[in-house]
Amino acid sequence: MDFAQLTRDLEALRSEALAQIVAAPDTAALESLEVEILGKKGRLTGILRGIGALPADDRPRVGAVANTIRQAVEAALRDRSAAVGGAELRARLLTERVDVTTPGRPIARGSLHPSIEAMADIARIFSQFGFVVHESPEVEDDRTNFQMLNIPPDHPARDLWDTLYVDQPGYLLRTHTSPGQIRVMQAMRPPIRALLPGRCFRYEAVDASHGFEFFQVEGLMVDEGTTLGDLKGLLDQFARAMFGANKRTRFRPGYYPFTEPSVAFDVECLVCGGPGCPACGRSGWMTILGAGMVHPVVLRNGGLDPERYQGFAFGMGPERISMLKHGITDLRLFMENDLRFLEQFA
C-alpha cells in the first residue's frame, strides 16, 4: 500500500459516498449510510487502517485528506437530512391532518343504579347531621342478626324475616342491616351516629313489592339523653330534604323486638298529596321506614349501660324510597338490570 493508492481509495470513497447520500430517500437511509461510511467499523476507518504501512512523512498528509473527506461527508449528510426531513414532515402533516370540522363521536354517559343513587342521597342527607357510614358483613351469624337484637330462637317475630341460611351452621345471609347496630356499639363508644347501608337477603317469593335481595340503610344514634323527640325531628328533616320542604309526615306506633317504643314513619302520598289514591292504598300516606328507641336489652348487648345511654335506630329501604320518588311500581326492575329501565336515570 502506498500513498498514491491510499489517496485514490479515499477519493473514490468520497465520490461514491456523496452520490449515495444525495440519492438517499429518507432519514432512515441516511442514518445507515452515516454508520456505514463514518462509523467505527465504517469504510473510512477501513481505508485508514492502511496508514500504518506508510512512511512517517506521508501519514499526516493522508490524515489531512481523510479529514476533508469526513467533513465533506458530514456536510452532505446534514444537507440531505434537512431536505428529506422537511419532506417527511410535510408528508406527515398531510396524512395526519386533523379535520376540526368533523362532528365528534357522542360519548355514552353511564349513570348510577337507582338503588345506589337513593343510598347516596340518604347518606348525603344524614352526613349533614353528623352520621358516618359504617360497613357490616353480608354473611352474618344468627346471634348478631337475631339474638342480640332481642329475637331469641323460636321467637314468633322471626316470621318477619324469612331467612336464607349458608352451609356453615349458625351463619346466614343477613335479613336486615340491624345487626350492624350491634357491631357498631361493640366497636365504639357514644356519642354514636352511624349509617349502615348494605345488601340484605330474604327467602321470599319475588313479586312487585318483594325481592329476595334488596338494600337497606340502617341508622343508629346513641348518646346520653337521646329522646324520641330527637328521632322525630331528625326524620322530619330527612323527609323534607328527600321529598320536598312542604311534605307532611306522621309517626304511627309500630312493633320491632329491638326497639321500644317502635314507630312507623309515613310521608304524605307523593302521587295524590293526601286525599287517597290507588298508589297509597287510598290512605293518603306512604310508609318509608321503621324506627324506634333502641331496646335496653340491645344496648346492653352492644356493651352499653342503658341507665346511662339512650339511642334511637331506624331502617329504610332505598328501593322503596326510589319507587316513591320516581313513581316506579315494580321492585323487580331494580334487580333485573334491564338497560331500558336503567338508562332513564342517566
Rounded to an integer, what distance in angstroms lies between the CA atom of residue 121 and that of residue 106?
29
The verdict on 322 binding ligand DAH (CB under 6 A) reads: no
The verdict on 310 binding ligand DAH (CB under 6 A) reads: no
The verdict on 259 binding ligand DAH (CB under 6 A) reads: yes
All 3 cell numbers of residue 219? Answer: 341508622
CB 198 within 8 A of CB 214: no
The verdict on 131 binding ligand DAH (CB under 6 A) reads: no
The verdict on 290 binding ligand DAH (CB under 6 A) reads: yes
The verdict on 331 binding ligand DAH (CB under 6 A) reads: no
- Nearest approach in angstroms of CB 279 to ligand DAH is 21
Of the candidates 180, 211, 302, 315, which one interacts with ligand DAH according to CB under 6 A?
A: 315
Binding string to ligand DAH for residues 195 to 224, with x set by CB under 6 A, is what?
A: -----------------------x------
User: Which C-beta is closer to ligand DAH: that of 65 or that of 188?
Assistant: 188
Rounded to an integer, what distance in angstroms lies between the CA atom of residue 333 and that of residue 343?
12
User: Which C-beta is closer to ligand DAH: that of 24 or that of 217?
Assistant: 217
The verdict on 314 binding ligand DAH (CB under 6 A) reads: yes
The verdict on 256 binding ligand DAH (CB under 6 A) reads: yes
Strand order in the sheet with 259-268: 132-133, 192-201, 213-223, 310-316, 285-294, 259-268, 249-254
Of the candidates 194, 291, 321, 323, which one interacts with ligand DAH according to CB under 6 A?
A: 291
The verdict on 176 binding ligand DAH (CB under 6 A) reads: yes
Q: Which residues contact 135 (CB under 8 A, 6 or more apart)?
A: 180, 196, 198
Number of residues that bind ligand DAH (CB under 6 A): 11
User: Which C-beta is closer to ligand DAH: that of 62 or that of 286?
Assistant: 286
Give the 3-state secondary structure of residue 213: strand
191 upstream amide cis, omega within 30 of 0: yes
Q: What DSSP string describes 91-128?
A: HHHHHT---TTSPPPPPPP----HHHHHHHHHHHHHHT
In terms of phi and psi (left: phi > 0; alpha: psi -120 to 50; beta: otherwise), the region of 343 is alpha
- Nearest approach in angstroms of CB 264 to ligand DAH is 9
Residues that bind ligand DAH (CB under 6 A): 176, 178, 218, 256, 259, 290-292, 313-315
